[in-house]
Chains A and B, each alone.
Chain A
Amino acid sequence: MVMLDQTSAVTLAATEAEESARPPRRRVVRWWIYLALLPLAAIVGLFSYYPALSAIFWSFFHWNPASQSIPVGLGNYATMAGDQIWWTSFRNLGYIFVFSVVSWAIPLLAAELLISLRSARWQFVMRTLLIIPMAFPAVVTALVWGFFYSPNDGVINQTLKALGLQALAQNWTGQGSTALLSLLFVGFPFIAGLPFLIFYSSLQNIPTEVLEAAQLDGVGRFARFWQIDLPLMASQVRILVFLVIVGTLQYGLVAQVLTAGGPNNATMVPILRMIDVAFQGGDWGYSAALSTTLFFITLAFGAVVVLVRKADDGTADGGAM
């Protein structure tokens, strides 16, 4: 959702130019303008800015929400540096990120196949079918996959048994060696999602002249993929990488529903660690420090998205060629 400001910056510049062209007007303080913006400022200030800033503040305390809090300086951050579980959770995030980037191969393939369909009706129907899973609540998807993985009556183990492969049956989410991999496969084949939508719409946006020119030059379908589609998608993909990093940092729902971070922290992720520390451990100051760290990491990657967008803006319209 960090994707909006680049367009707004452009429109902003446009209106400013427009405004300065008009004759200057008498400056009157129109108090009702501020009154109109007051509800926005009050809600956003109290429930967005205040909590985010107070997390930074309390991360320097041994925070006791009910009674006296003791300042500990950087103590919480020192604890974090030595927190093995916290670093494990980032290693897991690394796996999750790499896996999701590799898995883009499937949505990319689907988008290429879809764009090659000649019938517009077929394209529409297949696109709709492929993205319907996006409409299901994430919890439902997680719970159904949990049902697939369950050790006794689970669909996967039952299917293996029916095929005479009971030796391969596992306690998929219950053992350290397969738990993380099981979580990663939730949502297979990963087509319904932002990457597919981005691949498909950038393929749709390739100008027909380019494709016609390529056809005249005798460029085949595979050559077209490498020489036209991929280069023209490059800038979108670059943004997608950072959006996925930001999204991965917030990964937690599937892990909470299927394994709650277990077994033995094999599927621990930062969000779950942050919640555990506060709600199970009662260490609110330390949790605030973890929250603050996560916040700044996300902010840094979010800023990269904005900068990449700004840089791309100058070279839009196939400048990547």
Chain B
Amino acid sequence: MSTTRTRESRQLSLKAVLIILAVVSLAPYLFMLVTSLKTNQQFADSFWQISLPLHFENYATAWNQIAPYLVNTVIVATLSIVLILAIASVSGFVLARYRFAGKHFIYGAVLVLMMVPSLAKLIPLFILMKDLGLLNTYVVLVIPYTAGGLVLGTILIRNFVEGIPQSLFDAARIDGASGARMYRSLMLPLSLPVLGTIALLIISEVWNDYFWPLLAISNNDLRTVSVGLQFFQGQNFTDYGPLMAGYLLASLPLVVLFTFLSKYFLAGVQGGLPGAH
């Protein structure tokens, strides 16, 4: 009897410590939420507490400035995802299911790129884009994200397709399915979870990437969220309510995706870590 009681009280203290850790972790974001509903006067009076009335109009003010950045980010992310999924699914399928000369060489050349940090090609890529006259366009953003995402996408899709039993493909071939037909009717439907994971990773990459858009885009109308927010901060740094409202609005899409699809996110973040599922 007494052992169950000590066990229960131990569970309670575990929960208490974990809740404290969670509150501390989330404190900056809670602070952001509370402040986003205040005027400067309310903020000066009490900066941690919620104070009434709540000023929801801060969100309208922030939205007008933030919305273009969000739209740009969504456009760039969508274009990149479409390109990546189209190309990587074909390449991954071919690399997983066909034998041909140079197969291992091609796959190896893609694998090696997993170890090349994107920041290492920042300077030469900038010059290349400048020579191509692409600075300050959507294309200058889409291309590097596509190139980077293709590496990860091809590897993930190839590994996944290799895991599909060969007997399925054999059966399809006996029924007279062509390669294109097997790709469309067999491999694509089965690969949807992987394709979803890749799409999520690309969204998160485009949303978070900072240095490349900072260098390649100087036209404020084309900025994506990360760099746009810093510009936004420069313009609103004395108006705390709208400033924090803007930060929250810019985070919201990612937070919502993450909350509902965290399984896929985590699968992507942890990559193929052995035993980490």
Q: Which residues of A contact B (CB under 8 A)?
A: 1-8, 11-12, 15, 18-19, 29-30, 32-34, 36-37, 39-41, 43-44, 47-52, 54-55, 58, 65, 106, 110, 113-114, 116-119, 122, 126, 128-141, 143-145, 147-148, 153, 155, 158, 188-189, 191-192, 194, 197-198, 201-202, 205, 236, 239, 246, 249-250, 252-253, 256-257, 271, 274-275, 278-279, 284, 287-288, 291-292, 294-295, 298-299, 302-303, 306, 309, 312-313, 316
Contacts and interface: CB of A to CB of B under 8 A. Distances in A.
B130 A36 contact: no
**A-B pairs, 5 with minimum CB distance:** A135-B258, A302-B115, A295-B120, A51-B121, A51-B124
B25 A148 contact: no
A51 B128 contact: yes
Interface string B235-246: 000001001100
19 contacts: A1-B114, A8-B111, A37-B106, A106-B21, A131-B262, A132-B258, A135-B251, A135-B257, A135-B265, A137-B207, A194-B270, A198-B276, A205-B275, A246-B117, A275-B211, A284-B123, A284-B127, A291-B120, A312-B274
Contacts of B156: 4
A293 B111 CA distance: 21
B124 A143 contact: no
A3 B90 CA distance: 23
Which DSSP category, helix, strand, loop or mixed, fits chain B's interface? helix
A202 B275 contact: yes
A18 B96 CA distance: 13
A135 B255 CA distance: 5
A275 B31 contact: no
Contact of B155 (A8, A18, A19): A8
Contacts of B21: 106, 110, 113, 130, 189, 191
Contacts, number: 287
Given A188-B24, A284-B123, A5 B111 contact: yes
A45 to B, nearest CB: 9
Contacts of B1: none
A32 to B, nearest CB: 8
Contact of A298 (B95, B101, B115): B115
Contacts of A316: 274-275
A51 B110 CA distance: 15
A44 B147 contact: yes
A58 B120 contact: no
Contact of A55 (B90, B124, B208): B124
Given A39-B87, A43-B150, A201-B276, A140 B100 contact: no
Interface residues of B, number: 100
A141 B75 CA distance: 24
Given A11-B163, A48-B147, A291 B114 contact: no
Contacts of A292: 120
A33 B122 contact: no
Given A8-B158, A201-B275, 16 more contacts: A1-B271, A36-B90, A37-B90, A43-B147, A47-B147, A48-B148, A130-B18, A130-B21, A133-B25, A135-B255, A140-B250, A144-B244, A201-B270, A291-B123, A302-B114, A302-B115
Contacts of A312: 274
* Max chain A C-beta neighbours (<10 A), residue from B24, B121, B124, B125: B124
A121 to B, nearest CB: 12
Contacts of B276: 197-198, 201-202, 236
B3 to A, nearest CB: 13
* Max chain B C-beta neighbours (<10 A), residue from A51, A134, A144: A51
Contacts of B214: 256
Contacts of B15: 117, 122, 126
B233 interface: yes
A33 B94 contact: yes
A144 B87 contact: no
Nearest to A294: B120
A197 B247 CA distance: 26
A194 B25 contact: no
A3 B272 contact: yes
B188 interface: no
B222 interface: no
A143 B26 contact: no
Contact of B120 (A5, A110, A194, A298): A298
B225 interface: yes
B25 to A, nearest CB: 5
Contacts of A8: 111, 155, 158-159, 272
Given A48-B147, A139-B230, A189-B21, A40 B275 contact: no
B130 A137 contact: no
A113 B124 contact: no
A158 B47 contact: yes
Nearest to B121: A51
B266 interface: yes
A44 B117 contact: no
